[in-house]
Amino acid sequence: MKSKHDVLIIGGGPVGLSCAYYLLKSGRKVTLLDAKEIGKGSGSGNAGHIVPSHIIPLAAPGVVTSALKWMLDPAHSPFGMKVSLDPNYLMWLLRFTLACSQDNVTRSLEPLNQLGQLSAKNFAQIIAEEKFDCAYQEKGLLHLFKTEKAFHEGQHEGEFMQKHGIPVSVYDKTKVHEVEPAALDDVIGGVHFTGDAHLNPAVFLNLLKERVRAMGAEMLENTSVTGFESAGGKVRVVRTGKGAFEAEQVILAAGALTPSVAKDLKLNIPIQPARGYSLTMSANKTMPSHALILGERRIAVSPMGDVLRFTGRLEVGNYSMEPNPVWIQRIENSAREYLRLDEKQDVKETWAGLRPTAKNGVPIIGKSPKHENLFLATGHAMLGLSLAPGTGLVVSQLLNGQQPAFSLSPMRLERFG
Ligand SMILES: Cc1cc2nc3c(=O)[nH]c(=O)nc-3n(C[C@H](O)[C@H](O)[C@H](O)COP(=O)(O)OP(=O)(O)OC[C@H]3O[C@@H](n4cnc5c(N)ncnc54)[C@H](O)[C@@H]3O)c2cc1C
């Protein structure tokens, strides 16, 4: 027997939960399904950076060359990739490489900027209105550098962002130590994206989950979507391990697993997982006072009240969510190259998550080209938390037949042809 629903959301990560929140606010009835526990997947152990400054997509000029260079120094490389002859994977690699162009950057800048600004505003609003206590801090994101070359490149990137309205401050050696006393003496400069923020993502997602439940959402955990039945240009049935569902409208927000969940829908959704790791420890005696990026090592640092988190590594093509102890140790070693840390760490959690990465590094948001009641909200890569409240709002507007404040066409699936 099929149960009939208004809006059915597949995937309870930051994106699915945010869609649920805004749809409930607009008066819709929501059912949220997750194969595992809602709010506990790839969104929970991440760095918690809310970064409207990230307006350059992952697929940008120079990315492939840098990735190849990094791989020559395997003990420190922030990048890795699976070796596989899977044709989907090889095609994605090829398409991603081709997308690393100035054209892709030019096309993506404005939509990422608009979605990023909307999302940052929505985070501040949700946290204030709902009184969420989640270590949220609007102190910007400070990039630290130890070498002149990397500092110079960081300043160059900062100037580029500034031209697109992103607030940036550049600090010399004296100033950077004044601003961030946890930095070791050989840090020579910093670039501070002062409009960014950070929070504890697991706490935020749990609070959002409880709020969404209190607003009336039906939430089904450990309920894996196994297939769909479509007819007449509509999704008619969503099949799960716990029975079949019918819904007026369906949102597919299953992160890196979206392509396999969608296999019956005959949509080509070009997403690969990009795995990364985090290490969370008790607060240190000297806590960094900002969210940081350790420039040359590409490690993210997040002080979250009573805990301190380091995250890093981007491994394309790996679906396993097992943290790799070798990389966890390397991430800690890299952090020690920049920061005053306690000699012995009280490790609270090691974690791995998947960044759902579309082949041009830009999210996929919009109505399915083949189904008038199916909407896609996925492919946010390294920005799935940061862009979630903006995505949730625009997706709820689309479902309600309203026009979002900016064009979503650069994010529609059809852009891939
Ligand atoms: C190391 C690391 C650091 C990061 N740091 C940041 C950061 O600082 N800021 C930021 O913005 N982003 C960051 N990210 C990226 C961010 O975590 C992801 O972009 C985000 O989790 C994607 O959200 P999502 O809701 O699209 O997908 P997910 O979080 O992956 O959620 C998808 C959900 O779908 C469910 N699902 C899958 N298959 C099915 C099925 N068949 N049936 C039902 N449910 C299913 C899953 O169980 C999961 O709960 C980081 C990622 C990593 C790995």
Q: Which atom of ligand 1 is nearest to the CA of 253?
A: 26
> What pLDDT was estimated at residue 76?
83
For residue 1, pLDDT over 60 is answered with: no
Distance 171 CA to ligand 1 centre (A): 33
For residue 66, pLDDT over 90 is answered with: no
For residue 173, pLDDT over 90 is answered with: yes
Read off the pLDDT of residues 215-242 as tens digits, 9 standing for 90 and up. 999 999 999 999 999 999 999 999 999 9
Rounded Cα distance between 393 and 334, Å, is: 38
Distance 49 CA to ligand 1 centre (A): 14
0.85 cut: is pTM over it? yes
Q: Write down the H helix ranges in 61-135.
A: 63-70, 87-99, 102-129
Rounded Cα distance between 172 and 118, Å, is: 31
Evaluate whether 81 touches 315 at the Cβ level (below 8 Å).
yes
For residue 402, pLDDT over 70 is answered with: yes
Distance 351 CA to ligand 1 centre (A): 13
Q: Which atom of ligand 1 is nearest to the CA of 240?
A: 42
Evaluate whether 323 touches 172 at the Cβ level (below 8 Å).
no
pLDDT, the chain, mean? 96
Q: Label the pairing between strands 364-367 and 168-171.
A: unpaired
Mean pLDDT to the nearest integer, 195-212: 98
Distance 238 CA to ligand 1 centre (A): 21
Mean pLDDT to the nearest integer, 181-185: 98
Pocket test for ligand 1, best of 18, 21, 46 (most atoms within 8 A of CB): 46
Give the pLDDT band of residue 2 (cuts 50, 70, 90): low
For residue 323, pLDDT over 60 is answered with: yes
Locate tokens 């994106």: which residue?
15
